[in-house]
Structure 1
Amino acid sequence: MIRYVGGDFFAKKCKEKSETGIYHVMLRGINRQQIFEDDEDYKKMLQTIADYKDKCSYQIYAYCLMPNHIHLLIKEGKEDLGVAFKRIGASYVYWYNMKYERYGHLFQDRYKSEKVEDDKYLLTVLRYIHQNPIKAGIVEEAIKYKWSSYIEYISQKGILTDIDFG
């Protein structure tokens, strides 16, 4: 894809594929605006991720929904990650725009992703995702933040999260 920026043309870099199929994915609100206004919004995003998890056959190793962005540690399934995120984003934005009687984009650009190629980095990203609400000053302990997969690990009950890295 070619874009025009400030008088120059640039080719949009294709995302590099992970050999493991595992990525740390971030999706941010446009202009860093809030993408979750209330509990219903968080629940809707989790339900959307769960619905497409079945359809796209991806695995979720960790998640954290922050007020203005999302972190996912995800293993690509039968569909390309870009297709899965297009589905998730479009579905949530359609619902969100209807609920708040608004139009237009909700997310900034497309998702950002980092390849996770080894176990050490996987554990680093897992810890980073679960500590995000603490670093943002929202809670003092990860267990107190209800919009992350941390509780699923502590309880050993993976609901949305594939806690066994199967």
Structure 2
Amino acid sequence: MPRKQRTWFPGAIYHITCRGNRKTPIFHEREDYLYYLYLLRKTNRRHPVNLHAYCLMSNHTHLLLETTVSPPGEAMGYLNTQYAKYINRKYDQVGHVFQGRYGASLIDSMMYLIDVSRYIHQNPVAAMMVCNAEDYEWTSYRHYISMGIDQGVKVKTDYILSQFPSPKQDNYKSFIEGAEYGEIVRRTPVL
């Protein structure tokens, strides 16, 4: 039975997830995380996308991707294939690294986009890997709160931050830490 074709149009934004086969780790050491980020940059040169957020957990990944000229399957196919080859070669393994096809949820509203960005950046906290989102190295959260840590991956923060009143980074941080979006907007004086 053929796979259901995913909805795609230029400018579509997706919450993309990829999980290790049988929920096993896909990152074993620091070098693996760095190589995945390198491949993410390389993939973007071949299949341009706007990366709005990411989180690399030990056994899965979250990407918030906006397509530009091609469907997300082209970028994800390249990224996952290259990373699987790397892992299999490095750890002398054979077979699947990822569990099935990547997951892709189409973002259909600004509120959904903002909520997914919080979910992605809070994932290490929810998994009790760190106490604070900014303490986890393998997310785009530090790009949003201007901690100056870059890892070489270009993250398009301006689109999501534009939905927050000034000071944008401070209000985004409050949102990630649990403040309700409506409350942040209400408490900001209109000039």
Fold shared by both chains (TM-score > 0.5):
yes
| Distance in 2 (alpha carbons) for counterparts of 1:129 and 1:136 | 11
The total of aligned residue pairs comes to: 157
Deviation track 1:115-165 (CA, whole Å, cap 9, x = no partner) reads 112211110000000000000010010000000000111117674211113
Gaps of at least 5 residues in structure 2 are 161-191
Q: Which residue of structure 2 aligns with residue 61 of structure 1? A: 52
| Distance in 2 (alpha carbons) for counterparts of 1:18 and 1:164 | 21
Which of these two proteins has the greater Rg computed from alpha carbons?
A: 2
Q: Which residue of structure 1 aligns with residue 14 of structure 2? A: 23
1:48 to 35, 39, 62: 39
Q: What is the deviation of 1:79?
A: 2.2
| Distance in 2 (alpha carbons) for counterparts of 1:131 and 1:112 | 19
Residue identity in the other structure for 2:27: F
Residue identity in the other structure for 2:154: L
| Distance in 1 (alpha carbons) for counterparts of 2:124 and 2:106 | 22
Q: Which residue of structure 2 aligns with residue 6 of structure 1? A: none
Task: Give the 3-state SS of the residue equivalent to 1:45 in structure 2.
Answer: helix
Please state if 1:108 is matched with 2:99.
yes
Task: Give the 3-state SS of the residue equivalent to 1:127 in structure 2.
Answer: helix
| Distance in 2 (alpha carbons) for counterparts of 1:123 and 1:60 | 14
Matches within 5 A, 1:98-137: 98-137=89-128
Superposed CA RMSD: 1.7
Relative contact order, higher structure (CA 8 A, sep 6+): 1
Task: Give the 3-state SS of the residue equivalent to 2:159 in structure 1.
Answer: coil
Task: Give the 3-state SS of the residue equivalent to 1:155 in structure 2.
Answer: coil
Gaps of at least 5 residues in structure 1 are 3-10
| Distance in 1 (alpha carbons) for counterparts of 2:57 and 2:79 | 16
Please state if 1:160 is matched with 2:151.
no
| Distance in 1 (alpha carbons) for counterparts of 2:11 and 2:147 | 24
Structure with greater strand percent: 1
Residue identity in the other structure for 1:148: T
CA contact (8 A) 2:10 2:67 kept: no
Q: What is the deviation of 1:55?
A: 1.7
